[in-house]
Every structure is written in C-alpha cells, then in structure tokens.
Amino acid sequence: MAADETNPLRRLSLAELRLRTSTKWTAYPPDVLPLWVAEMDTPVAEPVVRAVTRAMERGDTGYAGGTEYARALDAFARERWGWDGVVAERTAIMPDVMLGVVEILKLITSPGDAVVVNSPVYPPFYAFVEHLDRRIVEAPLDEAGRIDPATLEPACREAVRGGRRAAYLLCSPHNPTGTVHTARELAAVAELTAGHGVRVVVDEIHAPLVLAGTRFVPYLSVPGAESAFSMMSASKAWHLAGLKAALAVAGPGAAADLARLPGEVSHGPSHLGVIAHTAALRHGGDWLDALLAGLDGNRRLLADLLARQLPEVGYAPPEATYLAWLDCRPLGLGDRAASVFLEHGRVALTAGSGFGTGGAGHVRLNFATPPEVLTEAVGRMRKALDSTLPG
C-alpha cells in the first residue's frame, strides 16, 4: 500500500463524511464545511472495529469493569512515553474526561472553592466547574501560549485565600493552543502549587496526539506531582468520542482520595467504550502513527495556505492536537470572525470568546480533515473576508 493510502485523513470523501449523523455533521446545513468540534474525519482503526464487532456478536454489552483499560494504558505509556506510572490499583474508569474531572474535584474541593485554569482554555472547563458550584480563577497563558508563573502564582494565592481548599485544572497538551508543556515547566507547576496547597488535576486527553518534533511529558512523572490526578482517554486520538470511557490515574499521594470515589461512578462508562479504548491502546499503534504523519502534513499545509491566502491571520503551528488557534484580531472584526466565516464562507469554526480571557478575536479550526477539505475551507475563508471587509 502506498504511504499516502495509509493516511486515515485521506480515506473518506466529503460525500462519505456527510453520511455521518454525529453533531459535527448535523449542527449546520449541508453546504457548510464543519471544522469546529473535535471530531476527526477518519474511519475507525480496524483493531477497534474488530473488538467492538466481536463484543456485539457475543452480546458483551453489560456494565464496564475490570482493569484491562488501565493495563492497556500502562503498556502504551511505557512504550510511547517511557513512563510506568499507570498503576491499575490507582485508577478508576470514568464516563469521560470532563465527568471524571468533576468527580475528582468533588473529592478534593467543596462548593465555593476555587479552581485555577490557564486561559484561553477548553470552554467546558468553565461550564463544568461553575455548574459544580466552584469558582474559576484564571491564570492566563503568556503571549507564546505557555504557562506563566507570573500569573499562576497570584492565581493560586487568590484561590486559597481564607484557608479554603483549591485545585488547579491543567490542560496538557493545551487546548486550544496546542502547546506541549515541558518537563521543566511542569516541575515548576508542581513546586508552585504544592507551596500554596493547591491540588492539581490534569486533563491529558490529547497526550497521544503530540506531533513530530515534540515530546509529551506525563504530569505525574515530574517531581512533586505525587498528590495529583491525571485524566486520560483514547477517545481523541482514535476518534472514539461516541464510545464513552476514560481513566482517572492517581499519583501515589492521591490514592487515598481516589479510594473515596463512589462505586456508582463506574456505572457511567460504556462497556463497549472500554473495549474500544483498550483495543486502540493495545493494537492501534500503527494506525496512530499514520494519523500523526497525516496531521503533521495538514499542520504544514495549513501554515502554507494561511501564509498565501490569509496572511493577516496569526497562526503558531501547534505542537500537539489537531486544533489550530487562529488570531483574527488583525482583521478588525472583533469577536465576529467565526460568524463572518460561517455566514459568508460557509465554514464552521469555534469562536474564541468561549475560551475565556485571551480568546477574544480568535477562532479554533479543526484540521483533522482531508487535505482537500482543508484547502477548500481556507479558500472560502479568504472569499468571505473579500466580500466583507472594505477595500
């Protein structure tokens, strides 16, 4: 098979993709190119298809349980990251990453306590935390999209004011910027948060999607992170959002907290999801490697397309994820960039305003799509601006 034919992003045509009934493909009319929500335009890896099909054939559709997911993640982490910190006895199966975050925050904070986040950041961080009756304290990233001790330290100090408990919800790799935090940065986070008594919960859902030239560092692997929690899942890297499952991984100093998790939480994950995620981690490595090569190609393609057709738009190629964070402030559209691209170009992107401080004037673009679709989308965006902006 030719190398290009192995690229999962080149396997499906736009016509085939439009047969899908997930939210990405049904939220907008059929003339819109949907590059918004974090779903990939790929088929599912064959080992996952086989595992789920066999489970259906034998009627294996009950409740989730066991430690196979944890053991598969452990093997994957050892091979890919050289990390042996996924100890099955310190894990818990969760319905998904964000619901897992909620359950962990219930264990280590109380209503009214603060949760620190690095803005701009994944909008559900705000929605879930506030729905949980915790308050958000922002520690904005610096201009390069990296963790800034100059904002994190006062945010942690504010979070624990009055002797209250507090948590730091870290996104690693970061959504929407695609930043991969370094070992030095993460060690500094561990030292700073420990000094203020702030517990760390890290969303590492994009960990398998670190692109060429960068290395992922699990937060629990850095010195001082023993009392933290990591939330991991195979859902983003293998296009399994509809097969719900995730793992909470506790550091050695957080095991007692995890042991207090109500048993009912384990009723929420999909058993088929656990089967699918386990198969992906154990047998989906070749598929993932092909995907990463395709994403790297699309990352470079997007840089070229923007340089030629939308040079006004700021773009720092992400180190991880398949999400591009585009700075549209030079266009002078305020917070209307996403709506202009949708109304006049029929391209659906995610508006930056929902990502908190630092999101205004930006849009997030999902480039996990066939290169032809990405090329068409940027061309439409150019035409949308030409029909909207004066001159």
- Specify the DSSP element, H or E, that contains 166: strand 166-171
Neighbours of 371 (CB within 10 A): 17
Both 267 and 126 in one domain: the answer is: yes
Q: What number is the average pLDDT over the span 237-249?
A: 98
Neighbours of 92 (CB within 10 A): 21
- Residues 55 and 272 sit within 8 Å (Cβ to Cβ): yes
Residue type (1 letter), 110: S
Residue 66 belongs to a domain with what CATH number? 3.40.640.10
Q: Comparing C-alpha atoms, which of 277, 361, 368 is closest to residue 321?
A: 368
Residues 141 and 249 in one domain: yes
Q: At what angle do helices 371-388 and 285-309 cross, to 10 degrees?
A: 30
Instruction: Give me the pLDDT at residue 277, please.
Output: 98
Token pair, residue 67, equals 């430690």
Q: Judge if the upstream peptide bond of residue 120 is cis by omega within 30 degrees of 0.
A: yes
Q: How many domains is the chain built from? A: 2
Whole-prediction pTM value?
0.96
pLDDT band at 4 (very low <50, low <70, confident <90, very high): low
Residue 2 pLDDT > 80, yes or no?
Answer: no
Domain boundary among 237, 258, 283: 283
Distant-in-sequence, close-in-space partners of 170: CB < 8 Å, separation ≥ 6: 118, 181, 189, 200, 201, 202, 203, 219
Compute how many other C-beta atoms are within 10 angstroms of the C-beta atom of residue 219: 26
Q: Is 15 helix (H, G, I), strand (E, B) or coil?
A: helix
Q: Is the domain of 98 the same as that of 202? A: yes
The amino acid at residue 166 is: A
Digit-coded pLDDT (tens) for 272-300: 999 999 999 999 999 999 999 999 999 99
Residue 3 pLDDT greater than 60, yes or no: no
Question: CA quadruple 21, 237, 357, 168: dihedral positive or negative?
Answer: positive
Would you state the pLDDT for residue 5?
Answer: 72
- The rounded distance, in Å, linking the Cα atoms of 2 and 289 is 15
CATH number at residue 328: 3.90.1150.10
219 & 262 share domain: yes
Model confidence at 390, pLDDT cuts 50, 70, 90, reads confident
222 and 270 together in one domain: yes
1 has pLDDT over 60:
no
Using N-to-C axis directions, what is the helix angle for 271-283 and 46-57, rounded to 10°?
140
Q: What is the pLDDT of residues 92-142, one digit of tens each?
A: 999 999 999 999 999 999 999 999 999 999 999 999 999 999 999 999 999
Residues 279 and 289 in one domain: no
Same domain, 319 and 256: no
Distance from C-alpha of 8 to C-alpha of 359, rounded to nearest angstrom: 31
Tokens of 294: 């395709």
Domain that holds residue 100: 48-283
65, 151: one domain: yes
Residue 190's pLDDT is 98
Final residue of a domain: which of 218, 251, 283?
Answer: 283
Contacts for 221 with CB less than 8 Å, ≥ 6 apart: 81, 83, 85, 183
* pLDDT value of residue 360: 97
pLDDT in tens, 164-202: 999 999 999 999 999 999 999 999 999 999 999 999 999
96, 168, 280, 317 from 351: Cα distances, Å = 24, 25, 31, 18
Same-domain pairing of 184 and 258: yes
**Per-residue pLDDT tens digits for 7-66:** 999 999 999 999 999 999 999 999 999 999 999 999 999 999 999 999 999 999 999 999
Q: Which residue has the higher pLDDT, 3 or 89?
A: 89
| 359-386 residue pLDDT tens | 999 999 999 999 999 999 999 999 999 9
Which residues share a beta bridge with 93? Answer: 247
Q: Where does a domain end: 283, 305, 322?
A: 283
Predicted confidence at residue 266, as pLDDT, reads 86
Claim to verify: residue 278 and residue 291 sit in the same structural domain: no
| 310-338 pLDDT, tens digit each | 999 999 999 999 999 999 999 999 999 99
On whether both 171 and 251 belong to a single domain, the answer is yes
Looking at the fold, whether 312 and 164 belong to one and the same domain comes out as no
